[in-house]
Amino acid sequence: DGGITQSPKYLFRKEGQNVTLSCEQNLNHDAMYWYRQDPGQGLRLIYYSQIVNDFQKGDIAEGYSVSREKKESFPLTVTSAQKNPTAFYLCASRGVARGEKLFFGSGTQLSVL
């Protein structure tokens, strides 16, 4: 069953704590993305990666970090520097040919305790 798996579905963070959101895909896609969505708002790009061992900042990268050591995996760490981390986080991937569509995971809801 091909797709994108995000885990956990719900995550709670204590103040000052770093937390990592997992994103795994078995679609053989080169490009992967992380978006943040606040209640009633659109998707904002945090980081994206075109290829293994390479990634670029999106529009709201401050307080977040990523790695891309494997093609299938693109974990997102929400660091303690992110002062307002409560949001719905979506991971996506796509192939790099022209016109390739984005496929999304089911999301992780992060809340602050």
Partner 1 sequence: LAKTTQPISMDSYEGQEVNITCSHNNIATNDYITWYQQFPSQGPRFIIQGYKTKVTNEVASLFIPADRKSSTLSLPRVSLSDTAVYYCLVGERDSSYKLIFGSGTRLLVRP
Q: What angle do CA 48, 5, 41 make, to 5 degrees?
A: 60
Place of tokens 């990592």: 20
Site size toward partner 1, by CB under 8 A: 28
Nearer to partner 1, 59 or 69 (CB): 59
Q: Is 44 in the site for partner 1 (CB under 8 A)?
A: yes
Distance between terminal CA atoms of the chain? 35
Residue 34 one-letter amino acid:
W
Residue from the set 35, 64, 66, 74 that interacts with partner 1 by CB under 8 A: 35
Q: Is 50 in the site for partner 1 (CB under 8 A)?
A: yes
Q: Is 45 in the site for partner 1 (CB under 8 A)?
A: yes
